[in-house]
Structure 1
Amino acid sequence: MDAIPRVLRNDWSTVAVPELAGWQPTRSVSVVIPAYRAQATLDLTLASLSRQTYPADLLEVVVVDDGSEPALELPPIRPARTKLVRVENGWGRANALAWGVRHSTGEILHWLDADMVVYPEHVAAQARWQHVLPYAVTLGYKRFVDPETHGPWPAAAVVDDVWRSGTPDGLFGGATGEPHSYVERYINQTDQLRTADHLAFRIHVGATAALRRELYEAAGGFDTDLRLGEDTEFGYRLAQAGAVFVPEPAARAWHLGRTQVMRAREQVARYNQAFFADRIPYPRHTRRTGGTVWTVPLAEVVIPVGDEPLERVRAATDAVLRGTDLDVRVNLLGAWDELADARVSPLADPHLDLRLIAATYRGEPRVRLVTEPVAAFPAPYLLDLPPSHRLAPDTLRHLVELADHHQVGLVQAGDALLWRTAAVRRAEQVRAPGESLRDAVTAVHGSRAEPPAAVGITAHWEGASGRRKRPMPSTLEVGGVRSLARATVMVGRLTGRQLRARLIRRG
């Protein structure tokens, strides 16, 4: 099996994809089309799909009727392997897409709205990327045409004739149509997304995109509770799952009419703001209003409790909770399941400190008591924090700003490690046998080391008695274990029995 290509950040230019001419695809594609009261434009969409250059035996089309009355029907001109399914539970585009995925079989999933007329190479141009890059999300191009300007829509038979004659540019009398200005402007400003940063997911909007089924599942699929903005929110989770976003200008299409965002931009933005703020930590300004506890935090902080005393764990935890950035969740990793209710002298309890820590934070909404290693997804960051380390109020914010400014996947400050979720997820896909997670993350996103004092981290080694403990000469390198999860477990086991040798020099 060929090694999976390693893309640095979003620079997809290092990936070699096949030329469209003469290419023989091998992977099956399911085109999923959500439709609601769209029979007239759906007929044109299916007519254009019936003339795709992608092999017919590898192309499946799933039309999802989202409760139309009268019910939608499949027109005569359509791909050979087209089926119509009707949503039985829920409603909305996100729900219909999820429903269509469940009724599809393709290795590659391709979204397409029921008001799109796609060029013959549209599917092939996008699917070639998923043949070589499992974590690629491709974005097609479209031009908007308006019936008031370009006349009534053509009949499906006309689309079929124009496609068969090889002149799709002439479908609307040679009109160029209106580009998706916001998307194309961002693509051009970022060298075709090759220099795009962690906000690239925001152009995962519109009616045409493709990705591998396993990436769809790794990202958790569409949020079926959303009625608008589901593409942006799913794009965010795709980014956290390690996706690289690839614009594909060869995947051209006509969009029949203007989008809802074009017609009611301010109203749509107002509606989406509350939902986006709760689910997407970026851009940071979206969380300036509302609560302080969100469904998806900016960072998950993991503090391994081990057999540490209450005072040390409390000092580390409270320093995080009282920071200037409240958008955080603390995970205290410990053997909480060992806290049995059997009779024991309270002061002679062998798990006394563990029990006191649990009592201290059990009611705190931003603290979780966990017995297994934590995966940060869908939060964009995970901070591994030894209980001996104390953060200054601005430390977490400063670490995140460093990671975003330098676009790195790992920031190390002493034994505190800030991991970018997107980099970790991608590294897990491309990691070679025996390669450390640290090295794989550095390869796909870069890393950076900072002096602990420079970011406001100090080490405290005071025990419950107040006496300074002498650290044992032991060091655990995260890069030497097979995964971040195992590293977290090992830190939890060692802390309190073999303290780290890296004491931070004060001064």
Structure 2
Amino acid sequence: MSRPLSLPDGRWVVPGNRWDLVPDEHRGAATVTVVVPHYRQQPQLDRLLEALTLQTHPASLLQVVVADDGSPTPPDVGAYRDLLNLTVVRQPDHGFRAAAARNLGASAADGSILCFLDADTVPEPAYVENITRLPTAVPDALTVGRRRHADLTGWDPTDLRGWFTEGAAPPPELTEPRWLRDAYAGSRDLLDADRRSYRFIISAVMSCTRSLFDEVGRFDESFTSYGGEDWEFAHRAFDAGAVLAHVPTAIAWHDGADWAERTGEDREDKNLEAMALAPLVTDPAARTHGVVYAVPQTVAIVDTAGHSAASLLVTVGSLVTSGDTQVWISGPNAAAMRAQWGDVDARIHVGIPDDTRRSRFVVESHGRIRLGPGSLDRLVDVVDRTGVGRVVVGSPDAPVLTMTTSRSAARARRWADALGADTDATADDLFGTAVVDPADLDITDVEAHPRLAW
């Protein structure tokens, strides 16, 4: 877990989140598409386009796609047609649909790297070069720039050019959100990213490979009000094996104060955002109200081999009561054995789950076992403390239970063939495996016919 793996095309797959292990060597610049969601922001768009003409990234490798979210008047980009490789795409005005606009813009992209910039930002000249450097070398990288704030009222493109290239006085700087600065500093620019670091990825200043963006599934278009779609995307990307990094040298200036400082606390709006996120984000902090969501944090698959209906009930019951967990029963006579219970528990299913990618963990049970209170939490703690992608409970050759992170499984599936290895070996190389004793987790054996009577 201490070395990056070289892909045949010269790019790198890194262990865990260790983007710092990538060799410091020159790579040719990649083709980049800057995707700009826009709605009735013509003066701000003019400044942004002017800033993009000043980029140090080669102009021949830079495309700009303005994705208009149904402005009454189409954005006017005529002054920049000869200066930028520029495309405008539009969607009808059906309300606030920034997520859909970004997806529309990405669909028109020619570049191998996507660089999302909101229309009310102005990137410094090295912005594109700096924020795309890591995704060019590490295709799993999801980078976020530094969003600073300034009062650009009355500024036109000429003023902007004077600031960036001629040493003219800058605009008045406004407060930079402390919570973000502290998060980046405390995590060494997300090198130490953890399960909750998705909260520090901002779509206004975000970049990744187009292949990662497509594989993750793009922005969720069900978000139709301000905020939330970037947290949901970053959360999903992390579980898909994305490598998170903050690039402090990629600076884009936002026109105006941070949203929270402009509006103050709007509890109703924040509650709407929280309720939209909770069904999709399996962070326990988002789910503190005891309700059950379609996407659980943990998917458990129980093999019926060797079980009676009674022992299966004990195993499944101990799993389904372990927090945010849903159980699938698979194997011989699964439906018939469950039918004997007479239950109507919607957290229990028969068969194999269709898609586990949005859940953080997949647990597989291969024996007659009972998990004690807190057993699953102890397994999660092993993952959180060690960063491993897989925990084996019992003998490595014949475990009674395994826990695998979706993050490790997704990255291994993505690159195993290119690395000439199988997925399990690749996951172990990139994340590692921990082996623990069942007794240390309060996991015990269950008789073939345990006593259920009272």
TM-score bracket, normalised by the shorter chain, equals: 0.7 to 0.9
Change (3 A) 1:361 1:65: farther
CA distance in 2 between counterparts of 1:11 and 1:135 reads 11
- Name the SS of the counterpart of 2:278 in structure 1: helix
Residues 366/181 of structure 1: CA separation in 2 closer, same or farther (3 Å cut): same
Partner SS for 1:195:
coil
Counterpart-to-counterpart distance in 1, 2:233 and 2:410: 16
Distance in 1 (CA, whole Å) between partners of 2:413 and 2:88 is: 37
Q: CA deviation at 1:144?
A: 0.2
2-structure distance, mates of 1:255, 1:17: 31
CA distance in 2, matches of 1:10, 1:297: 24
Aligned to 1:343: none
- State the partner residue of 1:15: 22
Q: Does 1:188 align with 2:185?
A: yes
Q: Which residue of 2 aligns with 1:499?
A: none
* 1:85 paired to 2:83: no
Match in the other structure for 2:310:
311
- Corresponding residue number in structure 2 for 1:420: 405
Residue 34 and residue 356 in structure 1: after superposition, are their counterparts in 2 closer, same or farther (change >3 A)? same
Distance 1:359 1:30, change over 3 A: farther
Contact 2:306/2:367 (8 A) holds in 1: no
- Contact 2:371-2:442 at 8 Å conserved across structures: yes
Write out aligned runs for 1:386-425 (5 A): 386-414=366-394, 415=399, 416-425=401-410
Q: Determine the structure 2 residue equivalent to 1:271.
A: 272
Offset, 1:3: 6.2
Distance 1:96 1:120 in 2: 25
Q: Is 1:233 aligned to residue 232 of structure 2?
A: yes
User: Which whole-Å CA distance do the structure 1 matches of 2:384 and 2:265 have between them?
Assistant: 29
Task: Name the CA distance, whole Å, in 2 between partners of 1:401 and 1:395.
Answer: 10
Q: Deviation at 1:437? A: 4.0
1:74 aligns with 2:60: no
Superposed, which structure 2 residues align to 1:331-370 within 5 Å? Answer: 331-334=328-331, 354-357=335-338, 360=341, 363-370=344-351
Give the aligned residue type for 1:428.
R
2:320 and 2:243 map into 1 onto residues whose CA distance is 33
CA distance in 1, matches of 2:12, 2:263: 41
The one-letter code sitting in structure 1 at the alignment partner of 2:151 is D
> How do 1:211-230 residues align onto structure 2 when only pairs under 5 Å count?
211-226=208-223, 227=225, 228-230=227-229
Deviates more, 1:236-245 or 1:260-269: 260-269
Partner SS, residue 379 of structure 1 = coil
Judge conservation of contact 1:362–1:368 (CA < 8 Å) in 2.
Answer: no
Q: For residues 290 and 314 of structure 1, what CA distance do their matches in structure 2 show?
A: 23
Looking at structure 2, the residues matched to 4 and 313 of structure 1 have their Cα atoms a distance apart, in angstroms, of 47
The question of whether the paired residues in 1 share the 8 Å contact of 2:193 and 2:244 is answered with no
Residue 437 (structure 2) pairs with residue 440 (structure 1): no
The 5 Å alignment of 1:65-144 reads 65-77=68-80, 79-88=83-92, 90=94, 91-144=96-149
User: Which of 362, 375, 386 pairs up with 1:382?
Assistant: 362
For structure 1, the residue ranges without an aligned partner over 5 or more in a row are 336-350, 467-507
Letter in 2 for 1:278: P
Return the letter of the residue paired with 1:106.
G
Asked if 2 retains the 8 angstrom alpha-carbon contact of 1:362 and 1:369, the reply is no
Instruction: Give the residue type in structure 2 aligned to 1:197.
Output: D
Q: Does 1:280 align with 2:281?
A: yes
- Pick which of 61-70 and 385-394 moved more: 385-394
* Distance (Å, rounded) in 2 between the aligned partners of 1:130 and 1:224: 24
1:3–1:379 Cα change, 3 Å: farther
Shift of 1:430: 4.1
Shift of 1:2: 4.3
Deviation at 1:171, TM superposition (A): 5.5
Query: Structure 1 stretch 221-230 or stretch 439-448: which is displaced more?
Result: 439-448
Q: Look up the equivalent residue of 1:157 and give its one-letter code.
A: T
Whether 1:156 and 2:157 are equivalent positions in the alignment is yes
Instruction: Give, in whole Å, the separation in 2 of the partners of 1:361 and 1:187.
Output: 51
What CA distance in whole angstroms lies between the structure 2 residues aligned with 1:34 and 1:359? 55
CA distance in 1, matches of 2:295, 2:110: 31
Please give the residue correspondences for 1:469-488 in structure 2 after superposition, counting only pairs within 5 Å: none
Query: What letter corresponds to residue 455 of structure 1 in structure 2?
Result: L
SS at match of 2:79: coil
Q: Percent identity?
A: 26
Of residues 396-405 and 106-115 in structure 1, the stretch that sits farther from structure 2 once superposed is: 396-405
TM-score (norm. length: structure 2): 0.87
Q: Secondary structure at the match of 1:278?
A: coil
Contact kept, 8 Å, 2:329 with 2:350, in 1: the verdict is yes
Secondary structure of 1:266's partner? coil
Is the 2:145–2:246 contact (alpha carbons within 8 Å) kept by the matching residues of 1? yes
Distance between the aligned counterparts of 1:299 and 1:183, measured in 2? Answer: 29
CA separation in 2, counterparts of 1:24 and 1:4? Answer: 11
- 8 Å CA contact 1:125–1:251 kept in 2: the answer is yes
Letter in 1 for 2:251: R
Change (3 A) 1:88 1:67: closer
Shift of 1:370: 2.5
Greater mean alpha carbon deviation, residues 84-93 or residues 250-259: 84-93
DSSP 3-state at the match of 1:418? strand
Task: Please give the per-residue CA displacement for 1:438-493, whole angstroms capped at 9, x wherever unaligned.
Answer: 44333323332221011121223516999xxxxxxxxxxxxxxxxxxxxxxxxxxx
* AA at the equivalent of 1:367: I
Q: C-alpha displacement at 1:425, in angstroms?
A: 1.6
Describe the SS at the equivalent of 2:250: coil
Q: Which runs of 5+ in 2 are unaligned?
A: 1-7
Q: Work out which of the residue numbers 45, 50, 56 in structure 1 matches 2:48.
A: 45
Report SS of the residue matched to 2:16. Answer: coil
Which residue, 201, 205, 209 being the options, matches 1:208? 205
